């Protein structure tokens, strides 16, 4: 089962995190949801297999901390 591990409106950041996760051998899937409300904009969800959720969270946390 796939689980959302990260949600953002910043496509560049999402792409960067997907690269980092993939280089750590974590499978990812990108889901794009477009809102009709112009204020909300487009949201990007990074999904990972449930079995890799904890590892993915650790990597994202470390990436966010280190900049």
Question: Taking the CA atoms of the chain, what radius of gyration do you get in angstroms?
Answer: 12
For residue 8, what is the enclosing H or E element?
strand 2-8
Residue 67, pLDDT score:
65
> Please, are residues 43 and 6 in contact by the beta-carbon 8 Å criterion?
no
Residue 24 sits in a domain of what CATH number? 3.30.70.1530
With a CB cutoff of 8 Å and minimum separation 6, the contacts of 51 are none
Instruction: Note the pLDDT of residue 30.
Output: 97
pLDDT for the residue 40:
66
Provide the residue range defining the domain that includes 16: 2-66
Total domains, the chain = 1
The predicted model gives 12-23 an average pLDDT of 97
pLDDT in tens, 26-61: 999 999 987 655 566 789 999 999 999 999 999 999
């Amino acid at each position: 089962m796939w689980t959302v591990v990260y949600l953002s409106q910043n496509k560049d950041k999402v792409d960067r995190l997907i690269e980092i996760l993939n280089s750590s051998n974590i499978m990812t899937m990108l889901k794009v949801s477009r809102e009709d409300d112009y204020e909300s904009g487009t949201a990007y969800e990074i999904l990972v297999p449930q079995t890799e959720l904890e590892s993915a969270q650790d990597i994202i946390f470390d990436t966010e901390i280190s900049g």
